[in-house]
Structure 1
Amino acid sequence: MMEMTRSILKHMDLPNYLWGEAIRHSTYLLNRISTRALKDETPYESFRKKKPTLELIRVFGCIAYAKVDKPHLKKLEDRSRMLVHLGVEPGSKAYRLLDPQAKKITVSRDVIFNESKGWNWRSNIAD
């Protein structure tokens, strides 16, 4: 698990303080990958007795645009915020998202992803 976590952090050039989120995401992935020990069954299937859905999996650390849920937006106000994807919120179909400037995690279901881009942590902007 630590190898996957290290790879995830290095691949997207993420800061080490996100290691807990990377471990959570690694666990989420490993529970949905078949293993020889369970004879081509996933740990998720073995525990829940149903196949896991993989539609929520996105690239960890990619840019995510979350819908702004503010009532009475003015015509020219932004309708989304640029955040960093940190995986799926446990027990829901929502995503964990980090605002790198405020260092605050939010949860949202209304998200559009740009999986080919990541945050530039050196200059604190999107690449």
Structure 2
Amino acid sequence: MQYEPGLSREQLIDLALHRYFAAVDRKDLGGALGCFHDEALFTVQTSHTRHAGRQAIARMFEDFFAAYATIVHRGFTCTVDAAHGRIAASFEAVLTGHDGSVTTLNNTNFWRVRDGRFQEVHVYMSGANVLV
């Protein structure tokens, strides 16, 4: 399903990088959830994991934030289809555990945006799923 275009290329990048990933890196649950529609779908394609609705997505983020001392997303390469409200980003995720161990993942996310918020997020993760 296509949604009416609503955000420019720059606005889509801002939503994905400066609002969403910045909130995740700050462990700001409210900021991250504010990027999602109530009935959004979040899937980790590489592990066949699905989180449907804001409540399930919130629980996923609560567990993710608790599992790591620091979370850093960096090195973004974005591809944008503003005419259809879609954006993809490849990036590196560096996760530091409470014991100092470091997990580095090379991921790609695909977003479908409706009315300025995420309707769907599809994640391809290079390692074990940390978003369970």
TM-score by length of 1: 0.26
Which has more strand, going by share of residues? 2
TM-score by length of 2: 0.25
**Structure ranking higher on relative contact order (CA contacts 8 Å, 6+ apart):** 2
* Structure with max Cα Rg: 1
Which has more helix, going by share of residues? 2
